[in-house]
Chains A and B, each alone.
Chain A
């Protein structure tokens, strides 16, 4: 099953490679991994999207906790959570495509953030599956380039991951 794991770790050189190295060394899947410093600059927050059986997920959580730089780990799937991802898509915007792209962007509540002669760049946020759906609904030939941040997640209500 797909799981979203959130963790807080010391904002130190090499901390990211410890996590990435753990996943590759133990053969765990990484669908995406995002990381950035938090409001407390000594801490980084990471969101890892992974998949595996319950036993594998249990091991992943335990192994992450074992890393000396990792302060706290939370499996967001243990409760209610919100997941968001940002995607930028550059699409062909010539002739008929120009209207079509504007319309698709509106339907998915995207925003056109760059307009050029032959192309638009659309910004879209949402769950991974929403972004997938947007890509699916576009004419393949129209897609020039895409970039996605990978998911960030946060627990709902008073599920708080903090030191």
Chain B
């Protein structure tokens, strides 16, 4: 490919000059980009021609721009590197918006390049023109419109820097077509500095000491960790701190894996579908250390109820605007979670002799005794059946068969919550889902991004028959790139999460939540050249999973026909407080 000489440009470059398109490609090389997820179109044809002539990165052709964004997003989530997507102007850009907003809500570093109509046509309602910078402004960390070929390199450098630094997020670079044909010399800036953007990293030492003291003196200390721990690669530091202090810890949906689920101190996920012990401990603790979490409405339930129990709150976050946004914070620590946790660990170690930060062990023992009492409710127990497949059981078996080591992506709905509850993540960046925006349709493209980043890893996409159909076209992409993903579809023939709410809050009026006219998913998978399996009996679940994961080089679509009316428990209803959960046995489920 590299030696195909094709100079179709009308403007002949001089020895040192390059087209904007070539410059763009070179920028991506400089940033050591491995994959670009994209879809071509008129406004980006020069760029695609430049891609044709290079072999520094691989372009992955998706079947819908939304999937390009999700795949790049998951590439980033699973590696920590910046994800890159490329789309054309107009519909290409609008199709990308859901993916951009999804990444934005979960603070995922991405650079999105969008084509734009030529500069001279902007504002004339040209074919495939849309105000991409305007449309995406509320859902990007920052965006740029490049109006001069000489600005491409500097803008790309800034884009990667802004995306990955501070609180990460997607950055969009909109490039008009004529700019990609214009010529100039390529020079990639060595470094970048913006007078208006200087994210803090080091936390305030005085505040950190104060926090440690409060935690040591606490009777009922608690750690609440979030996605920031995963994104900030701070897991090892968090584990060290929690072990040193010996305190209980819970995690948000986005933080799962940041602290090993198999550890005794881990109380499971908290929030709307969190465990009884995690939510009770969160409510009852007297000193709370929040690390890279943002007191989201799905996490603390009714804010007034949460605040009705007095507790001292310490909050570590890189984004000052996350602090005291929903809940007033007593000890704010603005900084990179990794750096702050490292400072905490160091202080504990150096101050060992002075006994300054030693826990009150008697109080801690009593606190754990209380926690054990909550734990003994076994809130995640469910009624097993020999007739019909319980969705929770599928996830338990998935965990067993993959030895807890798989990357698990999920869509949005009941299946997502079951995956979060029953797949016990012991490592960060293994659990990939849309927490903030809650975007149905992410599961399959997420799995693509993860599998490309980790070619030899086991990648499972836990989905529902509703969600999977939102990006089902990507079965084709998976075939093209031989991605051996395993789709674990929990097929309840309902938009289950919607149905659950209708059951609870709308007297079983299942308005438009039944999924009718479902395709034969086995045949559908086969039509794309994949392996399809349908599993209807509980006894076959484990065998099917083993068989699927043994097919190491094949994409396998497992259609599990599950109990139609299973609900996700525990559950905190909208407007209720953390300690006001409904448990499975409250509504008469047996076997608890």
Contact = CB atoms under 8 A, between A and B. Distances in A.
B321 A68 contact: no
Contact of B321 (A10, A17, A66): A66
A65 interface: yes
Interface of B: 133-134, 137-138, 141-142, 145, 162, 194-197, 319-321, 323-325, 328
A163 B320 contact: no
B324 A55 contact: yes
Nearest to B140: A68
Given A21-B137, A58-B324, A14 B195 contact: no
A68 B137 contact: no
Contacts of B319: 66
Nearest to B321: A62
Contacts of A17: 134, 137
B137 A18 contact: yes
A163 B195 contact: yes
A15 to B, nearest CB: 10
Nearest to B147: A13
Contacts of A62: 320-321, 323
9 closest residue pairs by CB, A with B: A62-B321, A68-B142, A71-B196, A62-B320, A25-B138, A68-B197, A63-B321, A66-B321, A21-B137
Given A59-B321, A66-B319, A14 B145 contact: yes
5 contacts: A14-B145, A17-B134, A55-B328, A68-B162, A68-B196
Contacts of B195: 71, 163
Contacts of B320: 62, 65-66
A33 B380 CA distance: 53
Interface residues of A, number: 20
Main secondary structure of the interface of A (DSSP, over half): helix
A17 B328 CA distance: 30
A163 B198 CA distance: 14
Contacts of A70: 196
A85 interface: no
A123 interface: no
A18 B136 CA distance: 11
A59 B142 contact: no
Contacts of A65: 320-321
Contacts of A9: 196
Interface in A40-74: 55, 58-59, 62-63, 65-66, 68-71
Given A59-B325, A62-B321, A63-B321, A68 B145 contact: no
Among B134, B138, B141, residue most surrounded by chain A Cβ atoms (within 10 Å): B138
A17 B162 CA distance: 19
Contacts of A163: 195
Contacts of A63: 321
Contacts of A25: 138
Nearest to B158: A68
Nearest to B328: A55
Given A9-B196, A14-B133, A71-B196, A21 B321 contact: no
